[in-house]
Amino acid sequence: MKLTYQPFELALRHPFTIAKYSRTSTPIMLVQLEHEGQTGYGEASMVPYMGENPESAVAFLSKVDVGQFKFPFDFGAIVDYLDNLAPANPAIKAAIDIALHDLEGKLLGKPCWKILGSKPQLMPPTSFTIGIDKPEAVLQKVKEAAGFKVIKVKLGRDNDKELIQIIRSVTDVPFYVDANQGWTDRQQSLDMACWLQEQGALLIEQPMLKTDKEGNAWLTAHSPLPIIGDEAVQRLADIEQAKDVYHGINVKLMKSAGMFEAKRMIDKARKLGLKVLIGCMSETSCASLAAAALAPQCDWMDIDGPFLTTNNPYRPPHIVGGTYQLSDAPGLGLQLK
């Protein structure tokens, strides 16, 4: 097996602003694994606040012995091997895991979604994210979201209601809210949750600091809308304590170290009675299709990376009416340009 990789800077359509910071592009590491004439494609999206970067990714890849990866792949053993090479680094571990899943599908001649047991008819519509911005820019973004059945609104500043009212002046599409830990007071958060429900919100992601378990648990106990842990839940081991704090979790491949553990997280969340949102970072079609292969097993989907970027190196995912259409092609169904 042969491993190759290229750093890539994924440009954002609009500067991306959330409660804590703003940026205009995202460093990506594109990874390929070749075996028996087939190539598996993977991707690491290294958003700055997660602590990975191209240098850390190259340092990690230099430690990987691809001789460890024998087909048929034992993904549990592979995840353990990668975790033993170095702690953390979930995005670059995800890149390897995604490439191996794509390769597995190609070697078996089957689509990843089928191997993972997903039913395409259960695919939820994906949301399209509207970042924090000035009123004119918000209106422009709402126009770009035309065709999507759900939008996601980033809140967590002092003009939250104004932003929703601007959006509501032009569209009545339902929306997810992501406060990215930006709310500070539990009673104010509850008042917002009640108001947002009246406005057509479907769920709220990470309202308060991930460390404020008591505050988030109180809000979950009182909120009319599902409260979803995102920053508070990274990998499988985090789910157990999340069940007492949130209604559900946001699973992202760049947090879970890839598709294998994401599937285990979804299964465990289900067992514990938690709802599941599958989300993404700024990603190309590669990681987005990897997430889409699991999305039919989730309640909600927020996989809009390719639609919020301008230089996706792959063909865009096929979506109709805001819903991903899973391909029968072997592997991820990723198409090169």
- Please state the closest distance from residue 178 (CB atom) to Mg ion, in A: 4
Sheet holding 300-302, edge to edge: 127-130, 150-154, 175-178, 201-205, 227-229, 248-252, 275-279, 300-302
- Please state the closest distance from residue 181 (CB atom) to Mg ion, in A: 9
Query: Is 283 an interacting residue with respect to Mg ion (CB under 5 A)?
Result: no
Query: Is 304 an interacting residue with respect to Mg ion (CB under 5 A)?
Result: no
Site string for Mg ion, 65-94 (x = CB under 5 A): ------------------------------
Nearest to 203 by CA among 228, 184, 169, 235: 228
Site string for Mg ion, 204-223 (x = CB under 5 A): -x------------------
Candidate residues 230, 261, 299, 304; the one interacting with Mg ion per rule CB under 5 A:
230
Contact range with Mg ion by CB under 5 A, out of 15-23, 178-186, 218-226, 286-294 = 178-186
Nearest to 27 by CA among 49, 11, 5: 11
Q: Measured from the CB atom, is 31 or 203 closer to Mg ion? A: 203
Contact range with Mg ion by CB under 5 A, out of 9-17, 48-56, 91-99, 198-206 = 198-206
- For residue 211, give every residue at least 6 positions away whose Cβ sits within 8 Å of its Cβ, in sequence order, or none: none
Q: State the amino acid at position 171 in one-letter form.
A: T
Q: How far apart are CA 267 and CA 259, in angstroms?
A: 12
Chain residue whose CB lies nearest Mg ion: 230
Q: State the amino acid at position 277 in one-letter form.
A: L
Nearest to 221 by CA among 199, 193, 253: 193
Q: Measured from the CB atom, is 230 or 304 closer to Mg ion? A: 230
- For residue 105, give every residue at least 6 positions away whose Cβ sits within 8 Å of its Cβ, in sequence order, or none: 111, 112, 115, 330, 331, 332
Q: Measured from the CB atom, is 206 or 284 closer to Mg ion? A: 206
Q: How far apart are CA 268 and CA 237, in angstroms?
A: 10
Query: Is 104 an interacting residue with respect to Mg ion (CB under 5 A)?
Result: no
- Please state the closest distance from residue 205 (CB atom) to Mg ion, in A: 4
Number of H helices, E strands in the chain: 12, 13
Q: How far apart are CA 302 and CA 288, in angstroms?
A: 10
Contact range with Mg ion by CB under 5 A, out of 100-108, 173-181, 252-260, 262-270 = 173-181
Q: Measured from the CB atom, is 31 or 232 closer to Mg ion? A: 232
Beta pairing partners, 279: 252, 302
- Please state the closest distance from residue 302 (CB atom) to Mg ion, in A: 8
Query: Is 52 an interacting residue with respect to Mg ion (CB under 5 A)?
Result: no
- Please state the closest distance from residue 245 (CB atom) to Mg ion, in A: 15
SS (H, E, C) 67-98: HHCCCCCCHHHHHHHHHHHCCCCHHHHHHHHH
Q: Measured from the CB atom, is 48 or 76 closer to Mg ion? A: 48
The answer to whether the CB of 250 falls within 8 A of the CB of 279 is yes
Q: Measured from the CB atom, is 97 or 230 closer to Mg ion? A: 230
Q: Measured from the CB atom, is 132 or 326 closer to Mg ion? A: 132
Query: Is 178 an interacting residue with respect to Mg ion (CB under 5 A)?
Result: yes
Contact range with Mg ion by CB under 5 A, out of 10-18, 104-112, 192-200, 230-238 = 230-238
Q: Total number of residues binding Mg ion (CB under 5 A)?
A: 3
Q: How far apart are CA 190 and CA 225, in angstroms?
A: 10
- Please state the closest distance from residue 277 (CB atom) to Mg ion, in A: 8
> Residues in the site for Mg ion, rule: CB under 5 A?
178, 205, 230
